[in-house]
Amino acid sequence: MYICNPAICKCVKLLNCEFPKDRNAFVMHGFGFDTINGEFKVVVILLWVSDHALQSKAQVYTLGSNSWRTVSNAPKMLFLQGCSAFVNGSLHWLTRDDQVEDGSMIIVSFNLSSEEFGVIPCPKFNCITIMRSFTSESSTQLVELGGCLSVVEASFGNHIEIWIMKEYNVKESWTRFSVSKSYLVRMKSKRVKAVSFRKNSEIILLCDSSTLVSYNTETGNFTTLEVDGLNNNLADFPKYVGHAFSYAESLILPKSA
């Protein structure tokens, strides 16, 4: 595992965390800043099956400590594949509620200061795709947009549904709006992920892991974005397959110890 600072083009390799012996573990991870203690932390949640029962283990790595620590009460749930969302001093992941048959989503939080797990109320949206296992593909995404915890559902045929929690950990503050897929259909895009909010009321979307598109929430207009250093001809975009992330620029040098 590596920690990279794109602003200064530096990265550092971390020590390996402790995996369960003789088991294939599903790994969820997250990275964020502990505002109270002034520390950057990496969190890893390991999930595996033993004797037909789901087991879990959570570990925390503080940059500069050169060691992993195990924290208690790691959740035993099916996590949605994808990155964590860092909002309000906590990391967040989407999980499935095993207590209900329809696979309703739950947001699990981990406060980087108290190092405690919690649950954030999830919006009630019509999720077409139901997560059934660790490796299930899903069009549902948990992401930070404009400093707010947000859930994006892209499985609908003609639109993308976005829910934004305008007031952290207040269920009633979930606000819904939708993005038309008309422009994306013309691009023949099949998979869409939200990347970030821009200050000019635009949302950056990653289409088919290769094309960045900006959507203006006020005008409803789409704009295909060019990426410096890449050949931005549409015919060549399939050559570039990957991910896009938003980050807060920092000049801090990452250190493992």
Contact 130, 78 (CB under 8 A): no
User: In one letter, which amino acid is 227?
Assistant: V
| 176 φ/ψ angles, rounded to the nearest 5 degrees | -105, 140
Domain boundaries of the chain, sorted by first residue: 2-126, 188-245
DSSP H stretches of helix in the chain: 182-186
Distance of CA 223 to CAs 12, 30, 95, 181, Å?
36, 30, 33, 13
Q: Is 220 left (phi over 0), alpha (psi -120 to 50) or beta?
A: left
- Read off the pLDDT of residues 45-93 as tens digits, 9 standing for 90 and up: 998 888 888 889 999 999 888 899 999 999 888 787 667 899 999 999 9
Global pTM reads: 0.83
Mean pLDDT of the 33-49 span: 92
In three-state secondary structure terms, 171 is helix
pLDDT digits (tens, 9 = 90+) for 127-175: 544 444 444 456 788 989 889 999 988 877 778 888 999 999 999 999 9
CB atoms within 10 A of CB 170: 11
3-state secondary structure of 219: coil
